Structure 1
Amino acid sequence: MDISGTTRFGQTIQVPRPLELKTAQQREPASDLLDALRTGPFEAALDSAVRASGLSLERIQHRLAERGVEISVTTLSYWRRGRSRPERPQSRQAVRLLEELLGIPTDGLVSLLGPRRPRGRWVNRDSEVLESERLWPEFVSLPGLLAELDSTDDGLLRVAAHDQYELNAQGTGARLTTRLTLKATRDGVDRCVVILHGEDPDTALPEFTNVRNARLGRLRSDRSVPLVVAELFLDRTLSEGGTTLIEYTLRFPESGRRAEECGRGFNAPALLYTLEVAFHPDTVPVRCRRCFSAAVTGEPMSAELVWISASGRAHAVFENPGPGFRALRWEWH
């Protein structure tokens, strides 16, 4: 699993803000919202509640943060559009607070989610291996994209990985160069499946260039996230235990939102992951942290400050990374 670049965005709706005039208990949900709460699905009810409240997603995020729950505007937007669902305990806590903030009866939204989906490890698989869907748990379109490539497991371990991410003067991603050391876990492995989470759903998808020891195969995408699944055909078929090295560069559109993160998800333990980020000298963030989370969209379980050099570069070395997401995340002025 390769790159996740996140931004925060939302739409401001200029209508009266009833939450600032009445408490949630004093307001009665509109009829269309009541219909959505009765019939679902979750995203339709949430969208109707947000529109009825007159609150922007940024304002909702701020109010959640005041209650101690940190949820990005991007995540709220995905929930509202049905591109992901609240699954983690903190996400479900946020939904309960949303019910209060938006004036929805208790359990009105939570009941539409149903029981939590099974998480964690594959049944009858190595206890140190995670499914792609578990590493990327809130991207509901991912299983379908993987199914179109006829695989949820390419049979390769990422033994070592090196990512070099370069940003332009606007703070958006310019290119990402990736080098992977791969090991086959079964016979007959002939391709590597790459999952990419882009930075801006309103810009064009990145272009694969300078592919070495492989060639680009099929691409499947969900432009609204954006999410891309690509297959890279190896130069030779590997038997179990066989290894190969591949390299490729992703070139991003010149325009787009500022990037705030770059990182990689691992399904299984690796030996080494190194990540370099080169900021443009005219656009350097105020601070940068190396982070670990259990899933690509998860809140960091650890975050340590990382030095940004005078030339605008930062790096992180992750030795023996286990399953989960490792990244550098930064804050702009």
Structure 2
Amino acid sequence: MVSISDRTRVRQTDQGQRLLVPNPAPPPPRELPAELLDALRNGPFEAALDAAVRASGLSLERIQHRLAERGVEISVTTLSYWRRGRSRPERPQSRQAVRLLEELLGIPTDGLVSLLGPRRPRGRWVNRGTEVLETEHLWREYASLPELLAELGSTDDGLLRVAAHDAYELDAQGTAARLTTRLTLQATRERVDRCVVVLSGEDPDRELPEFAEVRNARLGRLRSDRSVPLVVAELFLDRTLSAGETTLVEYTLRFPGSGRPSRECGRGFRAPARLYTLEVAFHPDAVPVRCLRCSSAAATGEPVSAEPVWISAAGRAHAVFEDPGPGFRALRWEWH
């Protein structure tokens, strides 16, 4: 009996004879770039995946096609989200895809999987501090938002809004004229260099807001949908942050022209924050008769809580939200 090892194969000749032919030696392993080796060693997952994709020279469309040939269906958008840190592979099929990615991209076994760690807990009993809302859920009525965010490469900028302070000023017609925002931000991963801002309005016929001033950052790309209206902006930080580092960013928006009277102002939170302060200054000629402090699960959802807020003699109202969880926090008012 002849034993055939892994290095030997059987060949059928034209005469029907069978010959034992040594298999060719496997090609030597591809030498990985230093940047990729460093990312595989230190993470995070998205940095390693991005470096691996660039080193392979393959497009995401080609990678998706090769995964599909292996029976794993993953969209190009999902691959892009993984690569940019927008989301992480959590489901069993997604983890299987990562295993195949290691093979397709020439990465050592477990090189990517080891950077994922254990699956994140899900469900209603998850500790409140770990809750994170998908941006699309927070702004679920805005169908064009995912595309606008995709054009900027990511919806998760890797920044925790530790504290936020929004100060609105309204004009004599009751429309927003100016917004000054101060943010205390903390990086949740390595190499964070930008802050993504989502702005929505109430009047599609009005001109889009303009950034009048930005501090500790500079304005990057802008994407908008005037039919909503909706604006997505990126602000490049003055320096790249490591995980745990903090920075302060301040910007002022000017709302040109005029439009329908505003009925609310507020901010959406994907993850829990520590403090949110919201104030609005009404024009002396346009002071509402009632103002409410509201919390809801989404930007356009019905409030789960609404409490009256005092409007001062100077026409000012404010609300302080301590430890706001994921969702939308706002001031809403009635003109009549």
**Do the structures match in fold with TM over 0.5?**
yes
Aligned residues between the structures: 213
Q: Which amino acid aligns with 2:302?
A: E
What residue is the counterpart of 2:257 in the other structure? 254
Off by >2 Å, runs of 4+ in structure 1: 121-127
What residue is the counterpart of 1:154 in the other structure? 157
1:277 matched to 2:280? The reply is: yes
Could you list the per-position Cα deviations for residues 96-139 of structure 1 after superposition, in whole angstroms to 9, with x for gaps in the alignment?
Answer: xxxxxxxxxxxxxxxxxxxxxxxxx9855574111111111111
What residue is the counterpart of 2:313 in the other structure? 310
**What is the CA-CA distance between 1:266 and the residue it aligns to?**
0.4
Shift in CA distance, 288/239, structure 1 to aligned 2, threshold 3 Å? same
- Alpha-carbon contact 2:206-2:257 (below 8 Å) kept: no
What residue is the counterpart of 1:322 in the other structure? 325
Any unmatched runs of 5+ in structure 1? 1-120
Identity %: 80
- Alpha-carbon contact 2:197-2:233 (below 8 Å) kept: yes
1:180 matched to 2:187? The reply is: no
Q: Which amino acid aligns with 2:200?
A: H
TM-score, reference length from structure 1: 0.63
Any unmatched runs of 5+ in structure 2? 1-86, 91-118, 122-129
Alignment of 1:60-79 (within 5 A): none
- Determine helix, strand or coil for the equivalent of 1:257: coil
1:289 matched to 2:303? The reply is: no
1:237 matched to 2:257? The reply is: no
1:193 matched to 2:196? The reply is: yes
What CA distance in whole angstroms lies between the structure 1 residues aligned with 2:120 and 2:205?
38
- Determine helix, strand or coil for the equivalent of 1:133: helix
1:219 matched to 2:222? The reply is: yes
- Alpha-carbon contact 1:177-1:249 (below 8 Å) kept: yes
What CA distance in whole angstroms lies between the structure 1 residues aligned with 2:257 and 2:314?
22
- Alpha-carbon contact 1:172-1:254 (below 8 Å) kept: no
- Determine helix, strand or coil for the equivalent of 1:217: strand
What CA distance in whole angstroms lies between the structure 1 residues aligned with 2:154 and 2:258?
33
What CA distance in whole angstroms lies between the structure 2 residues aligned with 1:288 and 1:233?
35
What CA distance in whole angstroms lies between the structure 1 residues aligned with 2:212 and 2:295?
29
TM-score, reference length from structure 2: 0.62
Could you list the per-position Cα deviations for residues 28-81 of structure 1 after superposition, in whole angstroms to 9, with x for gaps in the alignment?
Answer: xxxxxxxxxxxxxxxxxxxxxxxxxxxxxxxxxxxxxxxxxxxxxxxxxxxxxx
- Determine helix, strand or coil for the equivalent of 2:148: helix
What CA distance in whole angstroms lies between the structure 2 residues aligned with 1:207 and 1:174?
11
Q: Which amino acid aligns with 1:291?
A: C
What residue is the counterpart of 1:267 in the other structure? 270
What CA distance in whole angstroms lies between the structure 2 residues aligned with 1:150 and 1:203?
27
Shift in CA distance, 305/228, structure 1 to aligned 2, threshold 3 Å? same
1:129 matched to 2:132? The reply is: yes
Could you list the per-position Cα deviations for residues 185-207 of structure 1 after superposition, in whole angstroms to 9, with x for gaps in the alignment?
Answer: 00000000000011210111000
Bigger relative contact order (CA 8 A; separation at least 6):
1
What CA distance in whole angstroms lies between the structure 2 residues aligned with 1:287 and 1:215?
38
What CA distance in whole angstroms lies between the structure 2 residues aligned with 1:188 and 1:209?
27
